[in-house]
Amino acid sequence: MNIVQSADELIRFWFTSRDEYNEPVSNTVREILKNIRKKGDTALYDYTQRFDYVDIKEIQVAPEIIAVAEKKLNPAFRSILEQAGENIRLFHKRQLPESWMDKSAHGIELGQQYSPLESVGVYIPGGRAVYPSTMLMNCIPAQVAGVERIAIVSPPRQDGEISPVLLGCAGLIGINEVYRIGGAQAVGALAFGTESVKPVAKITGPGNKYVNEAKKQVFGIVGIDLPAGPTEMVILADESAKPSFIIWDLLAQAEHDPDAQTAFLTTDLDLFKNVLNELNTAIEKSPRKEIIEKSLNEHGFALMIPSVSKGLEIINKLAPEHLELMVYNADEAVKSIRNTGAIFLGNYSPGVVGDYWAGPNHTLPTDGAAAFASPLNVLDFMKFSSTIKYSMESLLRVKNAISAFAQTEQLYAHAQSVEVRNG
């Protein structure tokens, strides 16, 4: 890790490591989306061969293949998926809003009517990696919201198929619309539709820079969640924390990606020294050593701070995706946090428990977006309409004011629209 000397230095390094606008990527994605819109399935087959080196026979996975994969799930892992899914479902049910209508003394009725999106497309990274947790975290909130159609896209493996674990997980949670496509072309298919893929109203799920760029370019045609940048973790610790806990939590975050970003802030000099001295020994034990080393060498930072309150101030400026508070009275310290995606309190709440098990969503704002955005949630899969009802008496009471307002804006038909309603 890189030892930094001040909060200003940490903040500067933290934000200069963001990906900047990449014109070649943007241009490539624009061309891919253009071809998907123009050529449909033909372009999907071509891009899958070109980018994934696979000649797929069918774009959509047959429902019976998903059913077989579900039956063949390892019983022990199936039980784990079921329990994790139940935790996620229970947490997200607490987020469900209620439609409402209020009536004033003058007979005016105003309200909000919530409804689920009609369809959602979920991007699940695939190929060499398998992420059933991503499927659970994206699909279950949509189901809780009441979305009727959920379509999954995921890049095929070298054999042209989707991982049986992913297919089994899809079947387990009741999803049977899965496509063997990935990359920007999959995003385009979900946005525009092709002969095999029906378009959706919104696209969620993480991906590489091409997937993120494609989501940005189709926004407005469809809704999207926040583009996911490299994962982030800040750990704030005092003398109550254990070095081994901090070390392995840092490594757990760093092993995601060479661009994963971490910061370790502490008020305790002995803890600071112990963590940095023992870090390399732990790295040597990891099968993902090369990824971790690159991440920590290029995007890992350690800083001594004078107080926990100073650490909290820094965290609100960093707005990290994940935050671990390993400090005395973490329940009190958390009250000062405004800007972060997920907060893990105490020595026995590692970020990993949020990745897989606890229930809150692990799709979180990155790149400082936690200053204005929230974790993926049920409301991301819903929308509301405003409802307005005036009686004749209530309109007559205010029509002169409305007419005057409209005439001031020189919108005379607006004014006449209320003037003609004389009773």
Place of tokens 């973790």: 233
Q: What is the CATH number of the domain that holds 152?
A: 3.40.50.1980
> Is residue 34 domain-shared with residue 149, that is, in the same domain?
yes
Q: Please report whether residue 138 resides in a domain.
A: yes
Q: Please report whether residue 282 resides in a domain.
A: yes
Cβ neighbourhood burial of 21 (10 Å; 0-12, 13-18, 19+): exposed
> Is residue 192 domain-shared with residue 73, that is, in the same domain?
yes
- DSSP output for 109-167: EEEEEEEE-SEEEEE---TT---HHHHHHHHHHHHHHT-SEEEEE----TTSS--HHHH
What is this structure's pTM? 0.91
Angle between the N-to-C axes of helices 23-39 and 41-52, in degrees from 0 to 180, rounded to the nearest 10: 140
Cβ neighbourhood burial of 62 (10 Å; 0-12, 13-18, 19+): exposed
* 316 in Cβ contact with 337 (< 8 Å): yes
Distance CA 270, CA 272 (A): 5
> Is residue 236 domain-shared with residue 201, that is, in the same domain?
no
Domain boundary among 358, 379, 409: 358
Just list the catalytic residues: 321-322
> Is residue 114 domain-shared with residue 200, that is, in the same domain?
yes
Q: Please report whether residue 276 resides in a domain.
A: yes
Structural domains counted in the chain: 3
Distance CA 194, CA 44 (A): 9
> Is residue 220 domain-shared with residue 265, that is, in the same domain?
no
Residue 80 domain boundaries: 23-224
> Is residue 171 domain-shared with residue 215, that is, in the same domain?
yes
Domain boundary among 358, 380, 410: 358
Helices and strands in the chain, H and E counts: 17, 14
Q: Please report whether residue 366 resides in a domain.
A: no
Per-residue pLDDT of the chain (423 residues), as tens digits, is 899 999 999 999 998 865 566 888 899 999 999 999 999 999 999 999 999 999 999 999 999 999 999 999 999 999 999 999 999 999 999 999 999 999 987 889 999 999 999 999 999 998 667 899 999 999 999 999 999 999 999 999 989 999 999 999 999 999 999 999 999 999 999 999 999 999 999 999 998 889 999 999 999 999 999 877 889 999 999 999 999 999 999 999 999 888 899 999 999 999 999 999 999 999 998 889 999 999 999 999 999 999 999 999 999 999 999 999 999 999 999 999 999 999 999 999 999 999 999 999 999 999 899 999 999 999 999 999 999 999 999 999 999 999 999 999 999 999 999 999 987
> Is residue 121 domain-shared with residue 238, that is, in the same domain?
no
> Is residue 348 domain-shared with residue 396, that is, in the same domain?
no
CA-CA-CA-CA dihedral for 380, 180, 72, 151, to nearest 10: 30
Q: Please report whether residue 371 resides in a domain.
A: no
Angle between the N-to-C axes of helices 23-39 and 183-192, in degrees from 0 to 180, rounded to the nearest 10: 50
Domain boundary among 199, 224, 249: 224
Q: Please report whether residue 234 resides in a domain.
A: yes
Please give the DSSP secondary-structure letter assigned to residue 297: H
> Is residue 75 domain-shared with residue 179, that is, in the same domain?
yes
Please give the DSSP secondary-structure letter assigned to residue 94: T
Write the CB contacts of 361 (distance below 8 Å, at least 6 apart in sequence): 88, 92, 137, 141, 375, 376, 377
> Is residue 66 domain-shared with residue 197, that is, in the same domain?
yes
> Is residue 217 domain-shared with residue 322, that is, in the same domain?
no
- DSSP output for 10-41: HHHHHHHTSPPP-HHHHHHHHHHHHHHHHHTH
> Is residue 192 domain-shared with residue 273, that is, in the same domain?
no
Residue whose C-alpha is closest to residue 179's, from 49, 81, 56, 33 = 56
The backbone torsions φ and ψ at residue 373, rounded to the nearest 5 degrees and listed phi first, read -130, 165
